[in-house]
Structures are given as structure tokens and as C-alpha cells.
Chain A
Amino acid sequence: MNYHWNWRIFWEPAPNGTGNYLDMLLSGLVLTIETAICAWIIALAFGSVVGVMRTLPSKTASSVGFAYVEFFRNMPLLVQLFIWFFVLPELLPHGSGLWLKQIPNAPFYTAAIGIGLFMSARVAEQTRAGINSLPRGQKLAATALGLTTAQAYRYVLLPMAFRIIMPPLTSEFLSTIKNTSVAITIGLIELTGEARAMQEFSFQVFEAFTGATVLYLLINVVVVIAMRFLERALAVPGYIGGK
């Protein structure tokens, strides 16, 4: 293979003047984590609400929830980001559209919101599955005790459901982190974007991508370990994986 390897490239100064190439990748890593956390908060908030809606007795609520999930699940994330980034400002009235185009850091906000909403459909499906996995008796017992529907969800169903769906939520969070790389297409220079920039500046293709790969693996390992602790702490006694 006539490829010129140079692993010391990481310690050579980068042309963008912020330090060496390693700093460049690390700043991408920070942006990836920031975007992923913001997106995850949105995904959890919207996903839980929609997931609960899909299990409610009300026909309207469950069909609104169904439409929401289908809407965000059946379009590629890339297309959704394009819609938020390029199309939405044009559809708004002139003044607010212009304001939207001039927000600093627009790619960051677009990515956080777009990826958050995209993932919220998946979180909603997990929440619904968690609630539906509970024995029917739980809800019946809560109702028999005189709890309102809201109280039954707040004190009986959701605390159990969320603890049960911790493992699938972990993998959804990992997907959220990976999905932030799609935002490279709207100009967010996160980890993959920095690796690409490093490759273009230095011509060391494989070193740049290896660096990014190692950092992604690192995030995965950290998240998996952290979530394992959380899962163990929250596991429901008496269930598989419980104490």
C-alpha cells in the first residue's frame, strides 16, 4: 500500500489557528456531545408525552400520537434537517423568516431541534412499549384506589415503565450521538466534520478518520458504562436484571 502514514500529524498545528489537529478533533467531540445532549433532552420530553398519549384511552390522543410518530419516522433525518434549515425560514412570514436566518449558531440549534424531534418518535415508541408491557392489573388497581388517570400515570405506570425501558433508551441515546454527524450537511462542524476538515487540510485521510473513530468508540464506552450503573441502580426488584 503506497499510502504515506504519519501518526504525528495529530500534534502538528492546524491551519485554522486554534492549536494542533488533536485540539481540532476534541473541539468537534465537545460539539458532538453538546448537540447530542440538547437533542436528547428534546427527544425525552416530547417522546414521553407522545408515548403516553398513544396509551391513553382517548381515541383522539392516541391517533394524534400515532400521526406524530409516523410523521417523524418516515422521512430520512437528512431531509428533516433540510426542511428545518432551508425550508422553514421561507415558509414563515418575511420578518420572522429573516430573523431565523440570522440567528448565530443556526446549524447547532437546527441540529439539536431536528435530531431531537426525529429521536422523539423513537423514544415515544419505547415509552409506549414500556407502558404496554406492564400488567393490566397495575392500571386497574390504581384506578380502583381512586387515582385519576393523571395520578395513575404519575405514581404507578410511568415510574415502572421508565425503569423497564432503560436499556432500549440507552441505545436510543447512542443513536442520538451518532445522528449528530448528519448535521455535517447543514454546516455543523462536529466530530465527523472536524475529521473531514483535518483530512482536507492535512491529506492524512486514514489518521483523521481513525482519530474520529477512536473518539466515537470512547463516547460509546463511557455512555454504556454510565448507563449500566444507572440501570443497576434503577432496576426493578423481581424483574430479570433486577436485584
Chain B
Amino acid sequence: MFASFDFDVIRRSFGYLFLDGMTFTLTLTGLAALGGLIFGTLIALMRLSGFKLLGRIAGLYVDLMRSLPLVLVIFWFYFLVPYIGQWVTGSSRPIQVGAFTSSLVTFIMFEAAYFSEIMRAGIQSISKGQPAAAQALGLTYRQTMRYVVLPQAFRNMLPVLLTQTIVLFQDTSLVYVLSIPDFLGAASKVAQRDGRLVEMYLFAAAVYFIISCLASFGVRRLQARIAFVH
């Protein structure tokens, strides 16, 4: 069955696949997770702030993002980001935005909705006595959140946040729809150039599988350790 296969195509394109493609995928995953976590935490704080209007807006944003398919959101931002850039910089015409910036903005905005739900659950899992004690000690709201609530919420939710990051890692493959050479995009380019679809797609699948498996194994180990320390 594998007789007519040419696995040498993988060796030939190794540098392109990993130095260009995988670097793009991992950088995008890392930065989007970081940005998504920061914005997600802000959204969660807005929803729990007690200001009705602020909570409403944050809630609507989360619901909107969570009911749209990621592919549609990628298209939306691909066309929207130049206009957002124009608005931010105040220039007279839509600005040119590179593939990386465009997809980074997309994933940060999209993941913020999912991370915010995780952080909200994390904040709500902290017992009421903690912020009450912090206030009794004279800490401001800001200090209470910064030094008491958020560190614990983050720690409790770390396994879930990391699992979501693994999902994000897999989801970054969808930038394929914009013909951006992430890992899958690079594999696909080589596959089409050399007419080696079978080898390249099986290889890409194996690479995603191994990375995700190792990462989720790591998360499980971490979860056990966190549970043990408690």
C-alpha cells in the first residue's frame, strides 16, 4: 500500500514546514492565548462588576462570539481589521495589515470570549469570604482583584485554560481559509506543489496529534499535582 509513497518529501520540506509553518502556528497560539486571557479576564470582570450596562455589553459580546463559527469570524476580521486600523491610526484610507496581524487580532478577539467564561467560573469559584476579608483589611477593589481573587482564580482554572489553549492550537489551522502558511498551510502548499497530498496530510495529522496528545498529557499531570497540593 505504501510502496508508491514518497516520504522523502517530508525530509525535503522539513525546514519550511517547521521553521516557517510551525513557528507561525506556535507564535500565533501563544500570543493569542496571552491576549485572549488578558481580554477575557477584563470581560469577566466587566460581567461581574455589578454595573448593569457594562455587564450587558460584555455578555452580548461573549454570546455573539460564541454563536458564530470561527471560519466566519476569521473572514469578518480579515476584512474588518484594515478599517479598524484606519480608525485607530486616524489615516485617510484602510491600512494594509499583514496576514499574521490579521489572524492574531481575530484569535485574540475570538478566544477572549471563551477565556472570559473560564475566568468568570474561576472568579465565582472563590469563596465570598476572600474578597470580604480583603476589604476588611482595607484593600481597594483593584487590589482585591489583583492580589487576592485573580491569582487564585487563575490557579484554579489553569488546567481548563491550558486545555482551551490546546483547542486554540488546533483551531489556528483554520487560517488555511485565508491561504496563510501556518503549519497546515505550509504542508498543503508542499502537498500541492509536489502532488503529495497523502504523505503531507498524514504527516500533518501525525504532528498535530503528537503535540496535542503530549500537551493534554501534561495538563493531566498538572491537574493531578494541583489537586495534590490543595
Contact = CB atoms under 8 A, between A and B. Distances in A.
Indicate whether A and B interact: yes
Interface of A: 1-3, 70-71, 73-80, 82-83, 86-87, 90-91, 174, 177-182, 184-185, 192, 195-196, 199, 205-206, 209, 212-213, 216-217, 220
Interface of B: 1, 64, 67-72, 75-76, 79-80, 83, 86-87, 93-94, 170-171, 173-174, 176-177, 184, 188, 197-198, 201-202, 204-205, 208-209, 212-213, 216
Nearest to B197: A86
Contact of A91 (B64, B68, B198): B198
Nearest to A182: B71
A196 B69 CA distance: 13
A108 to B, nearest CB: 17
- Across the A-B interface, give the 9 residue pairs with the lowest CB-CB distance, nearest first: A181-B69, A74-B212, A178-B69, A76-B170, A220-B67, A181-B71, A76-B173, A205-B79, A86-B197
A87 B75 contact: no
A216 B201 contact: no
B150 to A, nearest CB: 26
A181 B170 CA distance: 15
Nearest to B174: A78
Given A2-B93, A76-B184, A178-B68, A192 B201 contact: no
Nearest to B216: A74
A83 B83 contact: no
B69 A74 contact: no
Given A70-B213, A71-B209, A82-B188, 11 more contacts: A3-B83, A74-B216, A82-B204, A86-B201, A87-B197, A87-B201, A174-B67, A180-B69, A185-B177, A192-B72, A209-B79
22 contacts: A74-B212, A75-B208, A78-B184, A79-B184, A80-B205, A87-B197, A178-B67, A178-B68, A180-B69, A181-B69, A181-B71, A181-B72, A185-B177, A192-B72, A192-B75, A199-B79, A206-B80, A209-B76, A209-B79, A212-B72, A217-B67, A220-B67
Contacts of B86: 1
Contact of A87 (B80, B87, B202): B202
A182 B212 contact: no
A73 B167 CA distance: 9
A106 to B, nearest CB: 15
Q: Is the interface of B mostly helix, strand, loop or mixed?
A: helix
B83 A209 contact: no
Nearest to A78: B173
Nearest to A196: B75
Contacts, number: 103
A168 to B, nearest CB: 14
Given A179-B69, A192-B75, A213-B72, A76 B202 contact: no
Contacts of A91: 1, 198
A217 B75 CA distance: 17
Contacts of A199: 75, 79
Nearest to A2: B93
Contacts of B171: 76
B72 A209 contact: yes
A79 B208 contact: yes
Contact of A79 (B67, B70, B72, B205): B205
A73 B216 CA distance: 10
A83 B80 CA distance: 32
A180 B67 CA distance: 13
B75 A195 contact: yes
Contacts of B64: 217
A209 B209 contact: no
Contacts of B188: 82
Nearest to B206: A75
A216 B67 contact: yes
B79 A74 contact: no
Contact of A82 (B68, B70, B93, B201): B201
B197 A90 contact: yes
Given A76-B173, A76-B208, A192 B202 contact: no
Contact of B75 (A90, A185, A209): A209
A157 to B, nearest CB: 26
Contacts of A178: 67-70
Contacts of B216: 74
